[in-house]
Structure 1
């Protein structure tokens, strides 16, 4: 394959296990025969080297006199090197760190927005689906209206593309098939930070014994009840049982049972660490519809009045742990972006390899130079034996070969990106949540770019922005149990709103979601995330709930026969691009 563009040079080096300075890539591309130059450089560098520098290229060229273009490129490379080592970088020009950083929603006038940038791209150019503003969606609005589906052409495919705010374009960006300008990632890596909390990997102690279940539910109750006790005058169940009839009472507990009466009222039984107590929600109360949102085992608080015989509480109000309405999200101190993707499904016959290649090529362009993080929310591969007759839909039948192929596709991504991934239900880890990260064998296979591998779920702090990464199996549960206007596959972010409201990623035990008992409940949202990122349902959807951005990032797998049988019409080849300094988001389509 000709190496006439920097993008192809970077991909070829990555395929051979090397990262490279931008200056080195520029020097190679500017020689008369870039392919031969690359071979000389690879032969020249030490076998233990992982990063090719401009000095490596100069040493490999030796006495060979470079062309005038190459000499000019060397001068430019020196300029780049100077900027990398100096106090001022290109990053500083665009977004100053500290007090001079632009306010939310503002950019330096010299930096064009994506929808204002003119590009010579054509053919398979990725399309901007839209930019999400600081308050893109009101959870009270019907998502059918708020997503505003419209038919548009995007790259080599077309489909129902959700349009968020002003700025949606049908063909922005640069075509990966053309000679796209390569990214100039001159930012100091020391500016990056990525921390993980709530990871069960290496911490799992559950044996499946009864005592483990007691521990995990007790921990759930303690963590969530703390968030509710400040709102009600909580009394334990046993204390309420001894109170006089007609008195006011309040209780915090896990939902133990929900049933309707002959008159259409709702009887909700709550359980705390001392016992259970029945609470009656009258059907004519304005909050009665909240009962439709309840799941077994979630934690709520109620206030009300005891009946004359003190055997039941008539509920006057109901409270969820919820995200405080006063919550203010964190943002990064500089203009930097993260790509949020999930459900790659390498190994499936329906894996959209061309779409992934277009995405990876785009990451090498100048337009994507601020995308420094790639966060993958599970299902890297299709897996084996996940559903009936799956083997008939596999392109690769060996699970290890699937991960090897995924690793090859991961090498297409720029080598200087920070990559973090969690497992999903198709991956080769235990199905029960929380899921530990991959074992050492799979980590060795997926060693490209030294990706960070953590458990499902994990709270990942990226330059100060808290991103809750969860694959999303419990979304099936929420969608099945709640009314369609509250949660549906077409609007997966609405189901995510429910999990934020409950402050737990998988509240209900014993249903569609397999849960593993541990000494503590890793699935509780102890901290409010700034961004909640899921996958699993293969549908694109995003919006803001109490200023928390909820994103389900779609998939990279076309519809399978199994998906047809369960009426799943996937949203394929989308890549939400998140501005970490403003939490604005642009969704790009590559399929």
Structure 2
């Protein structure tokens, strides 16, 4: 059986309820009678097994009844002593038919390609057409030139590499080489009750942590101390933005608040700060430097400072060549879930070309959810939320079992809408226990072999895009909106708008440590670029355009998988739809 059938073997095992390691599937593919081997492995798997391992396969393929190369011997021969079912049993041919058919059975879902998923080669792409408009200079080397060899082999030679490779020579993953740590996970640590005092603690923590970043740049004085200073003095204040408004003369008045009180700063229109003022959001932390008026009642601003990411930020990297797939917004349960694209992606994961992909980082919205937007019930293929997670778990079984998966929730998932969002409850976790994914809170920082990846679903991107000028934040270039969050060192700075914030003793939404990679989803658009050496990636979705999206003019980028080299932080975006 050719190696390209690995994906079909994985699907057949998934049909029986099993996830499988890459090595196990490789061994099954190299068996003289793969169909019989699959049947025997399923038949002899322990009752409590959730995944098929290489040890399970070896126990079967070492049995002469299955692995014997004598042409007169077969695992389905009635005279065979093997563990496989008798050839006269009608069910004994079902697996063989599925595994040897030229094209796998058609899958449901919108946006399905016309050709069988197993015959298509994933296509290299430079990302969304608009995603490179302003990032070519800074990101061309990272995402195009440095991957020239990969692109040449992946786009032109995928079929040859897949069919000609020797199954025995394919490298296997060594779990001992992997390093994965999760930080900032607040699952099980929520303390907020929604009372006023909880909100005070959250914003006080935000102020304290972000003001520390700014104090090295300005000679900060508390609001009450500035009010006591003589007129004409130079002064600087760090505070949360309490108000921003324009005056009749075209100037801007910004009121800052710290733990001692509030103080106004006037930004004159002739100071050349207009380009900075239009980036200010309510409740974010900001520093203002300037000169006090004669009556000390107002600070005339000369400069503004955001907490920002240092331009000198140095990124980490893995000690070996290993990759992570950055995906989000699968939306299983929707009429528009692109099952064929997902199948094409998981098929590719079983090819030698995808051997370095040992991690999948999924940034929320595993399922479509229920009651998220008006008339959503009319666009659901699966109505019950638990059934949606059951279906998602089945699709997850197609992913090689030895792939490390980390996922965070999104606004369509069955968790609270207010951020930070804790990971799923035990009932939903138990539904997805086959793949043993790490399910953590939104947001969370995942350190993968020395690379710090900040995962955030991205609901606040809607607010940033709505508030800021189009050239600085838009749905067509979602990574630019992500730049703004990095500049503000907070994933959801504005309170009281579309983004719901849950009060906690600690503000888990602060970007205290600078990440190497910032990964979001939510807006269903593909875009990436670098901001002060931080790679910002919005990974698109796996859902075709819904009627609701049409009504709000969202044209999704669906069926893409950014593949990140963890050793170099180069990235290749693959298209599977």
What is the TM-score when the length of structure 1 is the normalising length? Answer: 0.83
Answer yes or no: is 1:536 the counterpart of 2:509: no
Q: 1:60/1:546 Cα in 2 relative to 1: closer, same or farther (>3 Å)?
A: closer
| One of 348, 354, 357 as aligned partner of 2:334 | 348
Is structure 2 residue 214 aligned with structure 1 residue 231?
no
- Alpha-carbon distance in structure 1 between the residues aligned to 2:187 and 2:542: 26
2:499 matches 1:513: yes
Q: Secondary structure at the match of 1:144?
A: coil
**1:174 aligned to which of 158, 162, 177:** 158
Structure 2 equivalent of residue 430 of structure 1: 416
What is the CA–CA distance in structure 2 between the aligned matches of 1:172 and 1:377, rounded to whole Å? 30
In structure 2, relative to structure 1, the CA distance for the partners of 1:483 and 1:24 (3 Å cut) is closer
- Aligned match of 2:98: none
Q: How does 1:472-511 map to 2 (within 5 A)?
A: 472-511=458-497
Higher mean displacement: 246-255 or 42-51: 42-51
Choose from 523, 533, 539 the match for 1:547: 533
Contact 1:486 1:495 (C-alpha < 8 Å) held by counterparts: yes
* 1:32–1:334 Cα change, 3 Å: closer
Alpha-carbon distance, 1:131 to partner: 9.3
Listed as ranges, the matches of 1:119-130 within 5 Å are: 124-130=120-126
Indicate the residue corresponding to 2:58 in structure 1.
57
8 Å CA contact retained: 1:174, 1:180: no
For residues 179-578 of structure 1, what are the structure 2 equivalents within 5 Å? 184-578=170-564
Contact 1:302 1:319 in 2 (8 A): yes
- Superposed CA offset, 1:84-103 (max 9, x none): xxxxxxxxxxxxxxxxxxxx
Q: Secondary structure at the match of 1:218?
A: helix
SS of corresponding position for 2:303: strand
Secondary structure, aligned partner of 1:449? coil
CA distance in 1 between counterparts of 2:525 and 2:27 reads 42
Structure 1 residue runs of 5 or longer lacking an equivalent are 71-120, 133-140, 149-162
- Separation in 1, partners of 2:382, 2:326: 25
C-alpha offsets along residues 271-314 of structure 1, whole Å, 9 cap, x if unaligned?
A: 00000000011111122320100000000111110001111001
Is the Cα contact below 8 Å between 1:23 and 1:54 reproduced in 2?
no
Shift of 1:68: 4.2
Instruction: Give the SS at the match of 1:568.
Output: coil
Task: Report what 1:11 is aligned to.
Answer: 11
Deviations 1:359-392 (A, max 9, x none): 0000110110000000000000111110010111
1:423-459, Cα deviation, whole Å (9 max, x unpaired)? 0001110000000010111001111210110000001
Change (3 A) 1:189 1:4: closer
> How far is the alpha carbon of 1:215 from its aligned partner?
0.4
Q: 1:195 to 1:27 in 2, by over 3 A?
A: closer
Any stretches of 5+ residues in structure 2 without a counterpart? Answer: 72-116
Judged with a 3 Å threshold, the aligned counterparts in structure 2 of structure 1 residues 172 and 489 are, in CA distance, closer, same or farther, namely farther
Partners of 2:6 and 2:351 within 8 A in 1: no
Aligned residue number for residue 144 of structure 2:
165
Cα distance per residue 1:179-227 (max 9 Å; x no partner): 6867935232011111111111100111110000100000000000000
CA displacement at 1:7 relative to structure 2: 2.7
2:106 is matched with none
Tell me the residue number matched to 1:151: none
TM-score norm. by structure 2 comes to: 0.85
Contact 1:466–1:530 (Cα < 8 Å) also in 2:
yes
CA–CA distance in structure 1, aligned partners of residues 70 and 120 of structure 2? 30
Q: CA deviation at 1:61?
A: 5.3
Q: What is the rounded CA distance, in whole Å, between the counterparts of 1:59 and 1:348 in structure 2?
A: 39
Query: Aligned equivalents of 2:293 and 2:569: distance in 1?
Result: 49
Deviation at 1:28, TM superposition (A): 3.0
Q: Report the Cα distance in structure 1 between the residues aligned to 2:216 and 2:265, rounded to whole angstroms.
A: 20
Q: Secondary structure at the match of 2:255?
A: strand
Report if aligned partners of 1:200, 1:522 keep a CA contact under 8 Å in 2.
Answer: yes
Deviations 1:26-83 (A, max 9, x none): 443344432122212222343234443357535565342735499xxxxxxxxxxxxx
Label 1:173 to 1:243 Cα distance change in 2 as closer, same or farther (>3 A): farther
Any conservation in 2 of the 1:372–1:418 contact (CA below 8 Å)? Answer: yes
Alignment partners' CA distance in 1, 2:385 and 2:211: 42
Give the Å deviation of 1:147.
6.2
Per the TM alignment, residue 164 of structure 1 is displaced from its structure 2 partner at its CA by 5.5
Report the Cα distance in structure 2 between the residues aligned to 1:569 and 1:69, rounded to whole angstroms: 57
How far apart in 2 are the matches of 1:207 and 1:257?
27
Find the aligned partners of 1:280 and 1:223 in 2 and give their Cα distance: 25
CA RMSD of aligned residues (A): 2.7
Q: Is the 8 A contact 1:303 1:318 kept in 2?
A: yes
CA–CA distance in 1 between the matches of 2:236 and 2:420?
A: 32
